[in-house]
């Protein structure tokens, strides 16, 4: 049976989860390359949608199979997250030097796919947390709390992306060179974090 207290707890957990370093860096690398806060908001929303979709689908599969990720599989997914961050950082930096890494109609998809990758890496832990709290095998309970968690992630990441996008936009408006420096800083941080993420997963 769904409980508003538990739903609220998972909603708050989602708000906090969205603000983990790898999530913030990934979205920042996409936001830094956009011109307005509204476009940046779209990047954050796409990342959150991808993250939530993979949590729901993969979490449901794990639930019905009564399975969980092995440590080696979890490390592989985390390594994938790290490699994704490395690529995002490289493209973010390259955009500064090349003037414009193509921003075609398909340019919105990397944020979505990055979100899916992050969601896959976190699915096992989330489903385990839901079941531990539930003390129940109810699928409705699991899905309800995953939705609450996803709602928290979506709201927090959307706000973060919009604020960061506005800040990046203003830096370029009033200090022409500042935007490039900010974008390079974000790209470099994302690249370094990705390297650390991959190394940590590899040594485990």
The model's pLDDT over 5-20, given as tens digits with 9 standing for 90+, comes to: 888 999 999 999 999 9
Q: Give yes or no for residue 29 having a pLDDT over 90.
A: yes
Mean pLDDT of 160-182: 84
**Distance separating alpha carbons of residues 151 and 194, to the nearest angstrom:** 26
C-beta separation of 61 from 127 below 8 A:
no
Q: Give yes or no for residue 106 having a pLDDT over 50.
A: no
**Distance separating alpha carbons of residues 93 and 25, to the nearest angstrom:** 13
Q: Give yes or no for residue 127 having a pLDDT over 50.
A: yes
C-beta separation of 38 from 178 below 8 A:
no
Mean pLDDT of 22-51: 92
Q: Give yes or no for residue 2 having a pLDDT over 60.
A: yes
**Distance separating alpha carbons of residues 74 and 97, to the nearest angstrom:** 35
Model pLDDT, residue 1 = 61
**Distance separating alpha carbons of residues 70 and 68, to the nearest angstrom:** 6
Q: Give yes or no for residue 103 having a pLDDT over 60.
A: no
Model pLDDT, residue 85 = 97
Q: Give yes or no for residue 190 having a pLDDT over 70.
A: yes
**Percent of the chain topping pLDDT 70:** 87
- Which one has a higher pLDDT value, 54 or 203? 54
Residue indicated by tokens 């609450």: 148
* Predicted structure pTM score: 0.89
């Amino acid at each position: 049976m769904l409980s508003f207290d538990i739903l609220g707890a998972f909603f708050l957990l989602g708000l906090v989860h969205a603000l983990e370093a790898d999530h913030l860096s990934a979205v920042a690398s996409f936001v830094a390359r956009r011109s307005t806060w509204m476009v940046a908001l779209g990047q954050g929303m796409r990342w959150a949608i991808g993250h939530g979709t993979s949590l729901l689908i993969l979490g449901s599969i794990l639930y019905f199979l009564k399975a969980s990720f092995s440590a080696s599989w979890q490390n592989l997914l985390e390594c994938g997250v790290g490699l994704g961050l490395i690529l995002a950082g490289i493209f973010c930096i390259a955009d500064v030097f090349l003037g414009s890494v193509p921003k075609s109609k398909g340019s919105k998809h990397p944020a979505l796919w990055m979100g899916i990758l992050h969601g896959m890496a976190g699915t096992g832990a989330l489903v385990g947390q839901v079941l531990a709290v539930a003390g129940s095998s109810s699928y409705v309970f699991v899905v309800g709390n995953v939705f609450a968690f996803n709602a928290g992630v979506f709201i927090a990441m959307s706000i973060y992306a919009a604020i960061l996008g506005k800040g990046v936009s203003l830096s370029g408006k009033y200090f022409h060179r500042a935007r490039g420096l900010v974008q390079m800083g974000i790209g470099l941080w994302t690249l370094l974090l990705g390297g650390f993420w991959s190394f940590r997963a590899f040594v485990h």
